[in-house]
Structure 1
């Protein structure tokens, strides 16, 4: 069990600390060399300027470094094949990820269309198309790495690790989802939109992702949904205060997240998604073979 603790501590340090060094280095460079219109705050580690693309790219390098360290330490400390952490199938099922991505986009487009047709006062069109196109190219490369890394760690590695300590899958889901939620406290969103509501929202995401991972026997669907969610936030509808600023097509002007409506909407969406996946992949037949949670 100690190797799981050592792995987790070292991995998080490399991911969060070493992974931020390229951004820190570029910030120091901007202090020495003037680049037209660009500046960087070493306290907030955010590059501001004519384009959000440099900051967007450098913030995502942390996930690239994190992914490399995840693979490396998995081999060194566990002598374990990466595939064994990702799925119980003989190969990673990319079609499942694509299906999860597509369904999530469908579920996101419908409310957006309804909002635009009825009351678009909460949405503001940015109109910075050139920067959006540049960020889109970067996002299509780096967002799958970001989402894949987080799912591999939380819904792959940690789910397996805690299963060595606890027999209850419900308890394992709760623990990993709490860790997933509290890690997101480092983002600016909870402090701008309400810590309680934000934590519950992220916790519910973690529970949903963990549940479909346990039932389906792999993180493929969770990876697809995670990629779709991040692409949506970066490219379609973004927040004014975001962990990774981008030039999304729209920005929401709603600064308040009411807890009860947020929970009801999230639970409804996750229930419908679970039912879609259950019918698609015949989960009801598989659940009959499971021991009680």
Structure 2
């Protein structure tokens, strides 16, 4: 059975998906936000200050950047836990089925995507720092930075795994069984993934042209998942992408405001870094993965039909 067909191992009635979506939203956006809200209250002098910060950013209350990042990850941890509970107890299928079509999770794939994309990201950013050094300020502070490394490497993969398994796993599979094909789920989940990031501050600064990057990234992760019949590569790619974004360079106008090694002091603008990944690096990564893992029949894997198996494997 291919990756999308894994959904047939459990219940696929439309109301089950509504129940799980409600459960995920409850865990992610309501229960998960409580620790952050409590932290914000403890940092507020009065109720009005807390409410003003809630309208803008709780970071304006002076919450430690690493603590704030950790509390943000806690929200996604509750979302991921809610998704797992929904898959197991509402759809009544194994959690592994939303991750991979293989007999067991292939962690070698995860680490390959993690390491290769990590090295590439660091190389591209390092080259830009070397070429445009006037735009960067050295920001190394030992204790905050090493704390950031711990939070980033240990906890940020929770946030990225939630997004991957929700979009490239759960939604991709559900939509695939409904539309009976692969391309409609790919388009819907990729666009929805991009729109989810529409509230990021960089979109406000750079304009909606920045959605090219977010939607393009959604397509990259989605195509990788369909061609590889599992999310392991996408999980590794997404994890290291956000980790590098957190610890290497920060600005005062992006979603990650951390104690990173460098501060980008340049004025917000749409440059090559917006289009280079989507139109150059992502295709090259797909070719690399194709060579390594022997991907065949791309047309069928991206546009083929999805049929319910006559015999559903356990």
Q: Same fold (TM over 0.5)?
A: yes
With a CA cutoff of 8 Å and minimum separation of 6, indicate the structure with the bigger relative contact order: 2
| Number of aligned residue pairs | 285
**1:30 aligns to 2:40 (yes or no):** no
What CA RMSD, in Å, does the superposition of the two structures yield over aligned residues?
2.3
Counterpart mapping for 1:99-110 below 5 A = 99-110=112-123
**Partner SS, residue 87 of structure 1:** coil
Unaligned runs of 5+ in 1: 34-39
Matched with 2:254 is 242
Q: Is the 8 A contact 1:132 1:249 kept in 2?
A: yes
Which stretch of the first structure deviates more once superposed, 169-178 or 215-224? 169-178
**1:73 aligns to 2:86 (yes or no):** yes
Matched with 2:206 is 193
Out of 262, 268, 284, the position equivalent to 2:280 is 268
* Separation in structure 1 between the aligned mates of residue 275 and residue 129 of structure 2, nearest angstrom: 22
* Separation in structure 1 between the aligned mates of residue 123 and residue 108 of structure 2, nearest angstrom: 23
Matched with 1:37 is none
Quick one: structure 1 residues 93 and 100, their matched pair in 2 at CA, closer, same or farther if it must change by over 3 Å? same
Q: Is the 8 A contact 1:193 1:255 kept in 2?
A: no
Out of 119, 129, 142, the position equivalent to 2:155 is 142
CA deviation string 1:139-198 (max 9, x = no partner): 22211111111111000000001002223422211100111111112322211222x122
Quick one: structure 1 residues 150 and 122, their matched pair in 2 at CA, closer, same or farther if it must change by over 3 Å? same
Counterpart mapping for 1:89-108 below 5 A = 89-108=102-121
Out of 230, 237, 250, the position equivalent to 1:218 is 230
Quick one: structure 1 residues 257 and 171, their matched pair in 2 at CA, closer, same or farther if it must change by over 3 Å? farther
CA deviation string 1:23-82 (max 9, x = no partner): 11111122369xxxxxx9233342353841221211111011112111112222101211
Which stretch of the first structure deviates more once superposed, 216-225 or 52-61? 52-61
* Separation in structure 2 between the aligned mates of residue 269 and residue 54 of structure 1, nearest angstrom: 33
**1:41 aligns to 2:25 (yes or no):** no
Q: Is the 8 A contact 2:249 2:261 kept in 1?
A: yes
Matched with 1:8 is 21
